[in-house]
């Protein structure tokens, strides 16, 4: 279901989504109240929910939608403002599973390939998660009236899932994720996981964390459980997020952990007991300097489709901390962190990954685990205990 007060935006979102043969939009709505009424008639797997709408806004509708259909996967859609970034973070605490920044202009819905790719990938990932965790509804395939053109869809237009192959849909000029790259992005390729032994007498003197889809909730859980255990070491986080959102993420992590948490700035000295978060649209590369480690940020080309990316952070940290670097790869699409993880283990450090069952998408952690880089693959609720033991002096 697509929920947005703009009929034009609804239509554009629907066209992008239905250009993928694996996705069918079955309902749309102009505000939260209409969406609730729609949900009673037509269960859905995923809702893309706008924040600012008349009558009932997205943040008000969110808990009502989740209450009406427990386990519903809601992705918040918002423009890149500090206010909306803060609301998106609040929504994650109220039951949303993810967020997606909306393009600032309607023309960018089609022209911005990154947006289309992210929208499709996140909808698919969360639908898949619902099927795996048993919360996806049984969707009926009853007959439906012919759908009105997407761009002119009325607030209560409903569509039905395809029951037979449909004629190929017209795709946007900038085609999003292809079928060939989706298995890797969704973590569907499987290889046996062989764990590496922990290095003898390993003790962490720095912690690096990489995450993407589902990452904010995982980060809040991890650092809420760790808190004071990290006072003696510096912490570095790269979460795939746009600018503005990383500012709000740092504020929420500070509250969750009780530790200072800042967005990385160029030339910033690295400090023990502080969490350093990669700034949106900038790679964070810690570097050794005369007076100690400092943060360098740059806008070099995206790596693994991402900026910030985990790999450049890990390459820099491996040079500084070597056999005392502990790396944790949390839930996320793609394989970012795998190549950087190779540098970590080559330098004598340790890599751990979140397990598939507790991950929203086992792409990033799965890539590291299946490459043989990990000394442990753990559910999220056990990760903090293992980190604490390694910071305190060994496995």
Residues involved in catalysis: 212, 240, 336
Q: Which residues contact 71 (CB under 8 A, 6 or more apart)?
A: 130, 133, 134, 135, 136
Distance separating alpha carbons of residues 219 and 275, to the nearest angstrom: 12
Nearest C-alpha neighbor of 327 from the set 259, 280, 373: 373
Q: Which two tokens stand for residue 341?
A: 């993880």
Q: Where are the alpha helices (DSSP H) in 227-354?
A: 245-257, 310-321, 338-346
Distance separating alpha carbons of residues 385 and 56, to the nearest angstrom: 42
Q: Taking the alpha carbons of 300, 304, 309, 312 in that order, is the dihedral positive or negative?
A: negative
Q: From the CB of residue 270, how many other CB atoms can be counted at a distance below 10 Å?
A: 21
Q: Which residues contact 116 (CB under 8 A, 6 or more apart)?
A: 16, 109, 110, 172, 174, 175, 176
């Amino acid at each position: 279901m697509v929920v947005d007060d703009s009929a034009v935006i609804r239509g554009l979102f629907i066209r992008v989504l239905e250009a993928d043969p694996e996705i069918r939009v079955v309902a749309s709505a102009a505000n939260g109240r209409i969406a609730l009424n729609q949900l009673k008639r037509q269960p859905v797997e995923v809702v893309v929910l706008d924040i600012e709408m008349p009558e009932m806004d997205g943040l008000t509708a969110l808990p009502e939608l989740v209450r009406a259909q427990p386990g519903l996967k809601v992705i918040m859609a918002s423009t890149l403002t500090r206010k909306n970034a803060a609301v998106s973070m609040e929504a994650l605490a109220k039951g949303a599973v993810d967020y997606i920044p909306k393009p600032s202009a309607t023309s960018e819905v089609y022209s911005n390939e990154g947006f289309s790719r992210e929208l499709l990938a996140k909808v698919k990932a969360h639908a898949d998660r619902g099927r795996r965790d048993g919360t996806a509804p049984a969707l009926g395939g009853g007959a439906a009236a012919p759908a009105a053109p997407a761009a002119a869809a009325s607030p209560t237009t409903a569509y039905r899932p395809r029951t037979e192959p449909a004629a190929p849909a017209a795709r946007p000029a900038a085609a999003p994720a292809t079928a060939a790259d989706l298995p890797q992005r969704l973590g569907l390729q499987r290889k046996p996981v062989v764990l590496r032994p922990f290095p003898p007498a390993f003790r962490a003197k720095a912690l690096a964390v990489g995450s993407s889809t589902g990452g904010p909730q995982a980060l809040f859980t991890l650092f809420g459980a760790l808190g004071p255990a990290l006072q003696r070491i510096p912490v570095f986080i790269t979460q795939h997020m746009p600018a503005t959102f990383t500012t709000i993420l740092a504020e929420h992590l500070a509250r969750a952990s009780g530790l200072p948490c800042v967005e990385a700035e160029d030339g910033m000295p690295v400090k023990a007991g502080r969490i350093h978060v990669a700034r949106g649209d900038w790679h964070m590369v810690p570097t050794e300097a005369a007076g100690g480690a400092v943060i360098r940020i740059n806008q070099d080309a995206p790596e693994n489709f991402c900026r910030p990316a985990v790999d450049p952070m890990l390459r820099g940290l491996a040079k500084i901390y070597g056999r005392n670097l502990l790396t944790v790869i949390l839930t996320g699409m793609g394989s970012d962190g795998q190549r950087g993880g190779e540098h970590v283990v080559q330098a004598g450090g340790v890599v751990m990954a979140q397990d598939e069952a507790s991950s929203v998408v086992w792409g990033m952690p799965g890539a590291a685990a299946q490459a043989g880089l990990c000394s442990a693959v753990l559910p999220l609720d056990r990760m903090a205990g293992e980190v604490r033991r390694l910071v305190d002096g060994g496995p």
